[in-house]
């Protein structure tokens, strides 16, 4: 599973998640929530969300460092 930030998108903090057979996008603020899903299973989504919850501060800090607040 890969987690990426893209620079040419919305200003709202989010992360893209990629796996072999699918991809998803999660909003991080005001709370972590699934924005969209293309082919990821419920188990993969739960796993991705758990990782995002665990590393939310790190992801948000990287976003703000790169894109500004």
Q: How many helices (H) and strands (E) does the chain have?
A: 1, 4
Residue 69 has pLDDT above 80, yes or no: no
Please tell me the predicted confidence (pLDDT) of residue 46.
98
Please tell me the predicted confidence (pLDDT) of residue 9.
73
pLDDT digits 0-9 by tens, 45-66: 999 999 999 999 999 999 999 8
* Rounded Cα distance, 57 and 8, in Å: 22
CB 69 within 8 A of CB 12: no
Please tell me the predicted confidence (pLDDT) of residue 66.
86
Domain spans, the chain = 2-67
pLDDT digits 0-9 by tens, 2-39: 999 887 778 889 999 999 999 999 999 999 999 999 99
């Amino acid at each position: 599973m890969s987690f990426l930030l893209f620079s040419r998108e919305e200003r709202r903090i989010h992360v893209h998640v990629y796996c072999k057979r699918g991809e998803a996008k999660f909003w991080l603020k005001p709370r972590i929530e699934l924005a969209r899903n293309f082919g990821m299973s419920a188990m993969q989504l739960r796993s991705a969300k758990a990782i995002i919850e665990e590393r939310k501060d790190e992801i948000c800090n990287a976003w703000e460092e790169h894109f500004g607040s």
